[in-house]
A and B are shown apart, each in its own frame.
Chain A
Amino acid sequence: MITTDILIIGAGPTGLFTVFEAGLLKLKCHLIDALPQAGGQCSEIYPKKPIYDIPAYPEILAGDLTDKLMEQIKQFEPGFTLGERADTLEKQDDGTFIVTTNKGTKHHAKVVAIAGGLGSFEPRKPKLDNIAKFEDKGVEYIIKEPEFYRNKNVVIAGGGDSALDWSIFLSDVAKSVTLVHRRNEFRGALDSVEKVQELKDANKIALITPAEITGILGEDKVTGLTIQKKGQEAFTIDTDHFIPLFGLSPKLGPLGNWGLEIEKNAIKVNNALDYQTNIPGVYAIGDVNTYPGKLKLILCGFHEATLMCQSAFQRIFPDKKYVMKYTTVGGVEGFDGTKKEAPKAVVKAIQ
């Protein structure tokens, strides 16, 4: 069981900054995120896109913002459970919480801060009638363990970076790799596109474009696919695996069943005070919450995280006197023993 003061659900910018504000109050944080890396949408959807409304950054790339936040919170040693989705929330008799992920990892925390953005990212599934029947029986939307495909025949569908990158990677592992895309053009890093071209010329990747997978064949596992090439008759190919890589889309998912008050796919909070939800001790901050006048902006998430941490502190230490200290005055004392502080003025007489 992982124990922490504040359990943050969602490792996007708002969740990451929460670690900093909590750290100033000597509260430890642990983050859960369904994605395999921190940064949320900033790293998953638009890492290379600029943001112009982060105060004091006239322009910053979303990926760089994530890196900077990670650097800013480093001394507070946050824990991460990545690649797992928070599935259940159980309130304990002592007012603490246990949150369990889809993989069974348990987290025990005094306070829960949901910074879940638009929800957890789930793979986008192609609309094929019998696809659900073959999930984990030859159809995989996420490649977890490349070795799983050793000496297997694999068909990948999609036209973005992940389709290209995995085709390249698996061409060294699998018995055969076939890449199917609706267009001849791929949208990905130039290096990857060129590498796939190279592997295709060397007959290490079979490319079928412009084409679409229209059917999955097999009894209790995938044995083949029907492929429709534009303007031609459909044909079938044999394969052991079908890996559709069409990106991810966020879904509120299990959070919706936690007994939280939900309005327009967002969690209602008390914005007059501390961004607490209808469950005391559970807060919602950033894009995942809603209140009158809500704006889904990163900078608003930072503000919400800051106020939320003050409330969390009072909840955890109801009897402690507390005054807010400016970081310039109090410095930043890390849990790792480091201390950042303003240099002392030099007092020296002039003779």
Chain B
Amino acid sequence: MQDINIKITDRDGVTHDIVAPTDMAMNLMEVVRSYELAPEGTIGVCGGMAMCASCQCYVKSNHQLPEMSDDEDAMLAEAFDVEDNSRLGCQIQMTPELNGLEVELAPES
């Protein structure tokens, strides 16, 4: 298994180069939390069930991402600051294909 390199821009606009494991069943929200790129309690509030949108992010690179589930789609329909490239971090698993992924965290709401 390999680690992948991803770029995450936090809510203060600072971009971090992060190494994320692909063999730990981690999703993007969990990567953000493990690197403490957003304060505890402001991200991953529902624990990763696509039920709170606190891990919303904007995908800046052209990666082929896993298709959106109905749950994620419906949650984004109720979230704020949603753009065409919005996704929920908790629904994006870290896989080797996502090497080079660039995302920006959406504002806290």
Question: In the complex, what's the smallest C-beta–C-beta distance from B48 to chain A, in angstroms?
Answer: 11
Contact at A46–B80, with CB atoms within 8 Å?
no
Segment 264-307 of A: residues with Cβ below 8 Å from B? 264-266
Give the residue of A119, A127, A181, A264 whose beta carbon is less than 8 angstroms from that of B80. Answer: A127
Contact at A266–B81, with CB atoms within 8 Å?
no
CB closest residue in chain B, given A265: B41
**Does more than half of chain A's interface fall in helix, strand or loop, or is it mixed?**
loop
Q: Which of A6-14, A31-39, A246-254, A333-341 lies on the face that meets chain B?
A: A246-254
CB closest residue in chain A, given B74: A187
Decide: A247 near B39, CB < 8 A? Known: A45-B51, A118-B45.
Answer: no
Segment 148-162 of A: residues with Cβ below 8 Å from B? 158-160
Contact at A265–B45, with CB atoms within 8 Å?
no
Contact at B45–A249, with CB atoms within 8 Å?
yes
Contact at B77–A159, with CB atoms within 8 Å?
yes
B65 in the interface (beta carbon within 8 A): no
Instruction: State A151–B85 Cα separation when bound (angstroms).
Output: 42
Instruction: State A41–B45 Cα separation when bound (angstroms).
Output: 10
A68 in the interface (beta carbon within 8 A): no
Instruction: State A264–B38 Cα separation when bound (angstroms).
Output: 10
A182 in the interface (beta carbon within 8 A): yes
Contact at B77–A266, with CB atoms within 8 Å?
no
Instruction: State A252–B36 Cα separation when bound (angstroms).
Output: 18
Decide: A250 near B41, CB < 8 A? Known: A45-B46, A46-B51, A127-B109.
Answer: yes
A124 in the interface (beta carbon within 8 A): yes
**Does more than half of chain B's interface fall in helix, strand or loop, or is it mixed?**
loop
A315 in the interface (beta carbon within 8 A): no
Question: In the complex, what's the smallest C-beta–C-beta distance from B107 to chain A, in angstroms?
Answer: 9
Q: Give per-residue flags for B34-52: 1 if the beta carbon is below 8 A from chain A beta carbons, else 0.
A: 0010011110011001011
Question: In the complex, what's the smallest C-beta–C-beta distance from A215 to chain B, in angstroms?
Answer: 15
Contact at A46–B40, with CB atoms within 8 Å?
no
Q: List B contacts of A119 (CB < 8 A).
A: 41
Instruction: State A160–B52 Cα separation when bound (angstroms).
Output: 12
CB closest residue in chain B, given A157: B78
Q: Give per-residue flags for B71-99: 1 if the beta carbon is below 8 A from chain A beta carbons, else 0.
A: 00011011011100000000000000000
Contact at B77–A185, with CB atoms within 8 Å?
yes
B56 in the interface (beta carbon within 8 A): no
Q: List A contacts of B52 (CB < 8 A).
A: 45, 247, 249
A126 in the interface (beta carbon within 8 A): yes
B54 in the interface (beta carbon within 8 A): yes
A175 in the interface (beta carbon within 8 A): no
Give the residue of A41, A45, A183, A264 whose beta carbon is less than 8 angstroms from that of B40. Answer: A264
A49 in the interface (beta carbon within 8 A): yes
Q: List B contacts of A181 (CB < 8 A).
A: 77
Give the residue of A41, A159, A252, A265 whose beta carbon is less than 8 angstroms from that of B78. Answer: A159
**Can you list 24 residue pairs at the A/B interface with Cβ under 8 Å?**
A46-B49, A118-B41, A119-B41, A124-B80, A124-B109, A127-B81, A127-B109, A159-B77, A160-B78, A182-B77, A182-B78, A183-B77, A185-B77, A187-B75, A187-B77, A187-B78, A246-B80, A247-B52, A247-B78, A249-B45, A249-B52, A264-B36, A264-B39, A266-B41
